[in-house]
Amino acid sequence: MKSHVKAVVIGGGVVGCSVLYHLARAGWTDVMLIERSELTSGSSWHAAGGFHTLNGDPNVAKLQAYTVQLYKELEEISGQSCGLHLTGGAMVADSPERMDFLRLAHAKGRYLGMDTELITPSEVKAMFPLMDEKNFVGAMWDPVEGHLDPSGTTHAYAKAAQKLGAEIVLRNPVTELTQDADGTWNVVTVNGTVRCEHVVNCGGLWAREVGRMVGVELPLLAMEHMYLLTEDIPEVMEFNKSTGREMIGVMDFKGEIYTRQERNGVLLGTYEKACKPWSPVNTPWDFGHELLQPDIDRIAPSLEVGFRHFPGIEKAGIKQIINGPFTFAPDGNPLVGPVQGLTNFWCACAVMAGFSQGGGVGLALSNWMVNGDPGFDVWGMDVARFGEWATLRYTNAKVRENYSRRFSIRFPNEELPAARPAQTTPLYDTMVGQNAVMGDSWGLETPLWFAPKGTEPKDIVSYRRSNDFEHIGNEVRATRESVGVTEIANFAKYEVSGPGARAFLDQLMTNRMPKAGRIVLTPMLNEFGKLIGDFTIANMGPKSGDDRFMIWGSSAAQKYHMRWFEKHLPKDGSVRIHRFDQTLVGLAIAGPKSQALLAKLTDVDVSTKAFRFMDFREMAVGGAPCMVNRISYTGDLGYEIWMQPAYERLVYAEIKDAGEEFGIADFGMRALLSMRLEKNFPTWFRELRPIYGPYEGGMDRFIKLEKNDFIGREAAAKEHAEGPKLRRVSMIVDALDADVMGDEPIWAKVGDTDHGTVEKPHGYGAPRFDASGAVIPAGNRSPSTETDGDASAVLGIRDGDWRVVGWVTSGGFAHYVGKSMAQGYVPAALAEDESSGLFEIEILGKRCTARINVEPPLDPAGEKMRG
Ligand SMILES: Cc1cc2nc3c(=O)[nH]c(=O)nc-3n(C[C@H](O)[C@H](O)[C@H](O)COP(=O)(O)OP(=O)(O)OC[C@H]3O[C@@H](n4cnc5c(N)ncnc54)[C@H](O)[C@@H]3O)c2cc1C
């Protein structure tokens, strides 16, 4: 065993071996994997080995597609078979709602380049004869599904990595991790200490314990999972003989089961409602190549439905039941990336589908470690997406909820109840008392909308407009016509101060920093000129020689942004950064009467002349010391008022009291998001994400290329000079009873006209495949110049003169203008074409006409905001 290497990967499951292989492939060959026992000694050895590309997050789906396509390359390099069976698979729907879900997934596939197809139950039966098709209404076929040999695949990664020079050390538990002052890690093992620059936690079932070695409690939990193997089934053998093919894989949502052929019988697994965590607090170190006791009673309800749906399986004898544990994060996606607050400590854990995701996880993490950036939009699996609120007990409740809902439909207006309420503001009881329907915003209870007195404050979950529609409309109209108030405690808030504060922000942000008492809006870019943040920044004015700036941003990105800020903080201590979280809360008032309302609450002159649009002041409001921004995401005249939580009840009561004469209304987050639509305002993580350039995102006026050499300036200047390929657009949609939710394809009637490259940029330097389907190594590609080169991802699915040219990022009903609206991306050449009849957006399988609206439909000159 070497005593010093560049990076140590802890854990020899499929994920650790994939990370090792990808690091070596990216050029870091001085790397070592340390395994406690033998390879596959965690959950990897007893996996069912199924793989598929479908994932609720299109970016994760893309990395899953990469994983599946990688196996061929892996077999060639390692000389080790992965035991691939690329059978294809079908998801079967038993109800119209489930069919809507499949239509949505299929529509998403149209711009992801996935070759899915909607098919009939009889067509599924023709490929999986054991089922009774009468139980189903339809299905979605995906040719890129199958199963493999879990152990062979893990060893293939390991062998391929070793061929590239990586070292693997077996039977050597890591017992301790310490870090020297210069950042060097000491990986203490039973057989000695290895010093290295980087440590990667791929501890799988023990990833929590490895995290604890550096004081981090990672939000993951292992669950027991069962699948059964049947004896030989004559119908299966007959099918194989008569067709010359293996049976396909089938996922049955109603039965909560997945099934496929295994030898001459079938394998059938369940995600049962009565699920059970395994080792909820500590994973025993002596757990090895062993299985858990099967519990047939627990899966009996799923089996009952399953046997009804697949009578051909019921008749077969059960040969073996496998029960094994594997880990999940609270939302079921992996935890990948650098851990905020530590240097060079990386995670690749909670990978619940290692054989679908392991390759993509390895690629993204190795890009991140080697190039400083994952090269893709990996937000959906970034370890930074969970805050401090994701404690052991939170994780336990959420993982159980997620596991038991694995085959349930998640509706776009559905808030999940487990582990709630967690964080509440002082107004929580007041809001609930006012019939607020509350939602979870990065662990904080936030009012979504207000149900009228006498009705139950509850969403009727649906893909279509629901019971909140009328009430959100009322909240919007009351605000736009007089004044409304809402709680905005969920925004992220930071203070940056110190003598170096301005220079620090100038280096990070694309816009000029404001003068004292003024506010700017500014994106933040990474080195590749992609959007990694969108902030409101106020200059609080100097104090004791220090510059002081307040920053507001996306709530969900707090750890993500802190990680970036900390990475770029000067080492000389000239800049301090403080994240407030819920130690600072806020209320927003908006609407034409908001100025008159604020005037009643303060002794400061807040006339338009004295307190201008985009001004910032520290002032007393309703008797409480507050910070006030003259700005509003509603696009109306409005103010954001920030205070310590101890004052929130007072300020709210004063606002409501003083607002009575104006008929003040409470409005929730959904009304706020509706109002931003009619102003064409984008949202972070929907329209603005790390896959788009600032000009593509329509942020042109906030990019000051001439100001100084900020991070990403060169790439942004290039995008500006060459002109963006894509543009964010706002559209009015002729929708009937359902609005867009995001990820719908945009069709255009363009005939054969070429409008340039219209690929969805899932990444830059993302996996590229050569003509034979082999991956072009990351080292041979330039992350700054390339979009996703997967040929299958090129849009352009045709239907006569119509082609899929873009995708929706978000939308909904804009209540004040009374129109259904969508935002999304289309080729730049089409982005200003307002002609009707040019576009259609596919909503729940139906194509609705849509028209680009270059100017916002409400107050295009922005006169309302300026007052
Ligand atoms: C019954 C069952 C069926 C499944 N079916 C599928 C399926 O069909 N498809 C699919 O994609 N996935 C499936 N999975 C999930 C799949 O097994 C996991 O996603 C995958 O194994 C995760 O791999 P990993 O490398 O993250 O973790 P693990 O396999 O748990 O590997 C972690 C490794 O780290 C080592 N380690 C931990 N701590 C230390 C330390 N301190 N020092 C040294 N070494 C250490 C362990 O010994 C272990 O070998 C299934 C799982 C189960 C249980």
Task: Give, for 243, the enclosing helix (H) or strand (E).
Answer: helix 234-243
Ligand 1 atom 2: residue of nearest CA: 47
Is residue 332 within 8 Å of 408, Cβ to Cβ? no
Under 8 Å CB-to-CB from 52, ≥6 apart: which residues? 64, 68, 89, 142, 144, 145, 249, 356
Give phi and psi for 366, each to the nearest 5.
-65, -40
pLDDT at 607 over 80: yes
Is residue 23 within 8 Å of 361, Cβ to Cβ? no
| Nearest atom in ligand 1 to 41's CA | 49
Report d(CA 220, CA 799) in Å as an integer: 45
Residue position matching structure tokens 């059938």: 268
pLDDT at 115 over 90: no
Burial class (CB in 10 A: 0-12, 13-18, 19+), 284: exposed
Q: What average pLDDT does the chain have?
A: 92
pLDDT at 779 over 60: no
Is residue 51 within 8 Å of 14, Cβ to Cβ? no
pLDDT at 227 over 60: yes
Mean local confidence (pLDDT), 381-404: 97
Q: What is the pLDDT of residue 796?
A: 57
Residue position matching structure tokens 């940056």: 496
Judged by average pLDDT, the poorest of 74-83, 102-111, 156-165, 582-591 is 102-111
When pLDDT is cut at 50, 70 and 90, the band that residue 780 belongs to is: very low
36 Cβ below 6 A of ligand 1: yes
Long-range contacts of 627-632 (CB under 8 A, 24+ apart): 627/538, 627/540, 627/550, 628/598, 629/519, 629/536, 629/538, 629/552, 630/519, 631/519, 631/536, 631/865, 632/588, 632/590, 632/594, 632/865
Ligand 1 atom 35: residue of nearest CA: 11
Report d(CA 362, CA 73) in Å as an integer: 15
329 Cβ below 6 A of ligand 1: no
Question: What sign does the dihedral 703-709-710-715 (CA atoms) show?
Answer: positive
pLDDT higher for 107 or 678? 678
Using DSSP's 3-state secondary structure scheme, residue 265 falls into strand
Q: What is the pLDDT of residue 772?
A: 35
Q: Which amino acid belongs to residue 489?
A: A
207 Cβ below 6 A of ligand 1: no
41 Cβ below 6 A of ligand 1: yes
Centroid of ligand 1 to alpha carbon of 276 (angstroms): 17
Q: Which amino acid belongs to residue 468?
A: D
pLDDT higher for 680 or 780? 680
Q: What is the pLDDT of residue 756?
A: 52
Q: What is the pLDDT of residue 546?
A: 87
Judged by average pLDDT, the poorest of 164-168, 473-477, 692-696, 799-803 is 799-803
**What's the pLDDT tens digit per position in 322-359?**
999 999 999 999 999 999 999 999 999 999 999 999 99
Report d(CA 840, CA 5) in Å as an integer: 55
Tokens in use for 73? 């390359």
Report d(CA 626, CA 606) in Å as an integer: 14
Centroid of ligand 1 to alpha carbon of 43 (angstroms): 3
Give phi and psi for 684, each to the nearest 5.
-70, 140
Centroid of ligand 1 to alpha carbon of 354 (angstroms): 7
Mean local confidence (pLDDT), 754-763: 50
Q: Which amino acid belongs to residue 678?
A: E
| Nearest atom in ligand 1 to 324's CA | 53
Q: Percent of the chain having pLDDT more than 90?
A: 84
* Cβ atoms < 10 Å from Cβ of 179: 15
Tokens in use for 723? 């002109």
Q: What is the pLDDT of residue 278?
A: 98
pLDDT at 435 over 70: yes
The conformational region for residue 69 under phi > 0 = left, psi -120 to 50 = alpha, else beta, is alpha
324 Cβ below 6 A of ligand 1: yes
Report d(CA 89, CA 139) in Å as an integer: 10
Q: Percent of the chain having pLDDT more than 70?
A: 95
When pLDDT is cut at 50, 70 and 90, the band that residue 795 belongs to is: low
When pLDDT is cut at 50, 70 and 90, the band that residue 54 belongs to is: confident
Residue position matching structure tokens 């807040």: 606
Measuring CA to CA, how many Å separate 539 from each of 515, 536, 542, 549, 705? 6, 10, 8, 5, 21
821 Cβ below 6 A of ligand 1: no
**What's the pLDDT tens digit per position in 522-577?**
999 999 999 999 999 999 998 888 899 999 999 999 999 999 999 999 999 999 99
Q: What is the pLDDT of residue 845?
A: 82
Using DSSP's 3-state secondary structure scheme, residue 310 falls into coil
Q: What is the pLDDT of residue 55?
A: 78
Judged by average pLDDT, the poorest of 101-105, 293-297, 671-675, 852-856 is 101-105
pLDDT at 791 over 50: no
The angle that helices 14-25 and 354-371 make with each other, rounded to 10 degrees, is 40
pTM of the predicted structure, to 2 decimals: 0.94
Judged by average pLDDT, the poorest of 314-318, 320-324, 675-679, 680-684 is 314-318
Centroid of ligand 1 to alpha carbon of 341 (angstroms): 26
**DSSP states of 325-337:** EEEE-TTSS-EEE
47 Cβ below 6 A of ligand 1: yes
857 Cβ below 6 A of ligand 1: no
Residue position matching structure tokens 């990370």: 19
pLDDT at 413 over 70: yes
Residue of 326, 333, 361 to test ligand 1 pocket, by largest number of atoms within 8 Å of CB: 326
Centroid of ligand 1 to alpha carbon of 204 (angstroms): 5
Which of 635, 663, 606, 632 lies closest to 864 in space, CA to CA?
635
pLDDT at 173 over 60: yes
Report d(CA 405, CA 413) in Å as an integer: 16
Tokens in use for 239? 């099918």
Centroid of ligand 1 to alpha carbon of 353 (angstroms): 9
16 Cβ below 6 A of ligand 1: yes
Which of 347, 370, 11 lies closest to 158 in space, CA to CA?
11
Q: What is the pLDDT of residue 754?
A: 63
9 Cβ below 6 A of ligand 1: no
Tokens in use for 471? 């009430």
Q: What is the pLDDT of residue 776?
A: 33
Centroid of ligand 1 to alpha carbon of 42 (angstroms): 5
Ligand 1 atom 31: residue of nearest CA: 13
Tokens in use for 20? 């090792």
Report d(CA 55, CA 715) in Å as an integer: 31
187 Cβ below 6 A of ligand 1: no
Using DSSP's 3-state secondary structure scheme, residue 621 falls into strand
Mean local confidence (pLDDT), 419-436: 97
**What's the pLDDT tens digit per position in 701-758?**
999 999 999 999 999 999 999 999 899 999 999 999 999 999 898 999 987 776 554 4
The answer to whether the peptide bond before residue 645 is cis (omega within 30 degrees of 0) is no
* Cβ atoms < 10 Å from Cβ of 700: 10
Which of 118, 115, 70 lies closest to 793 in space, CA to CA?
115
**DSSP states of 197-225:** EEEEE--GGGHHHHHHTTT-----EEEEE
Report d(CA 122, CA 129) in Å as an integer: 9
260 Cβ below 6 A of ligand 1: no
Q: What is the pLDDT of residue 60?
A: 82
Q: What is the pLDDT of residue 389?
A: 96
Ligand 1 atom 52: residue of nearest CA: 47
pLDDT at 362 over 60: yes
pLDDT at 778 over 90: no
Q: 95-99, 755-759, 780-784 — which one is most confidently predicted on average? A: 95-99
The conformational region for residue 742 under phi > 0 = left, psi -120 to 50 = alpha, else beta, is left
Q: What is the pLDDT of residue 603?
A: 97
Quickly count helices (H) and strands (E) in the chain.
Answer: 20, 39
Tokens in use for 329? 């994060």
**DSSP states of 797-815:** -EETTEEEEEEEEEEEEET
Burial class (CB in 10 A: 0-12, 13-18, 19+), 188: middle
pLDDT higher for 799 or 595? 595
Give phi and psi for 449, each to the nearest 5.
-165, 165
Q: Which amino acid belongs to residue 403?
A: Y
Using DSSP's 3-state secondary structure scheme, residue 681 falls into coil
Is residue 15 within 8 Å of 204, Cβ to Cβ? yes
For 655-667, give the secondary structure using H, E and C.
HHHHHHHHCCEEC
* Cβ atoms < 10 Å from Cβ of 232: 13
Tokens in use for 166? 């990586």
Report d(CA 705, CA 563) in Å as an integer: 25
**DSSP states of 47-84:** ---EE----SSHHHHHHHHHHHHHHHHHHHHH------
